[in-house]
Amino acid sequence: MASSPNRHHRRCYSNPNPPQPQPALLVFSGGTAFNGVVEDLKNFTTRVAHVLPVSDDGGSTAEIVRVLGGPAVGDIRSRCLRLSDQSTAEALAVRNLLGHRLPLEPLQAKSE
């Protein structure tokens, strides 16, 4: 059985400008102080892992911890807002939920 002359010879077309892999970053940071840099990182790479402390004790977080207990999640909430998708109505609804701030007045905060 005769084989086709092109059977063992394949042409390979290569892209002269193949996409370069994005760099991966691991960021250890505090909360709101680093949020401005987060926007710049999103333009540089989408492969970023964030490690945040749960020791925040300011603003709404202090009231949440005082009333409900548990870890302080204010810095995590803030970073999630910076990283959140805003392309759909559902994504915007989640962003608005995460962006809600409790009043500083303790009774008002507790009533919410």
Domain boundaries, the chain: 24-111
pLDDT for 88 equals: 93
Q: Which two tokens stand for residue 23?
A: 């760099």
Per-residue model confidence as pLDDT tens digits over 10-51? 565 666 777 778 888 898 887 677 888 888 888 888 888 988
Decide if pLDDT at 89 tops 90: yes
Tokens for 60, please give them: 């709404």
Rounded Cα–Cα distance for residues 57 and 64 (Å): 9
pTM score of the predicted model: 0.59
* CB neighbourhood size of 83 (10 A): 15
Q: How confident is the model at residue 9 (pLDDT cuts 50, 70, 90)?
A: low
The DSSP line for 5-65 is TTTT-------SSPPPPPPEEEEE--SGGGHHHHHHHHHH-SEEEEE--S---SHHHHHHH
Which pair of tokens denotes residue 49? 């892992």
Residue 29, classified by CB atoms within 10 Å of its CB into exposed (0-12), middle (13-18) or buried (19+), is middle
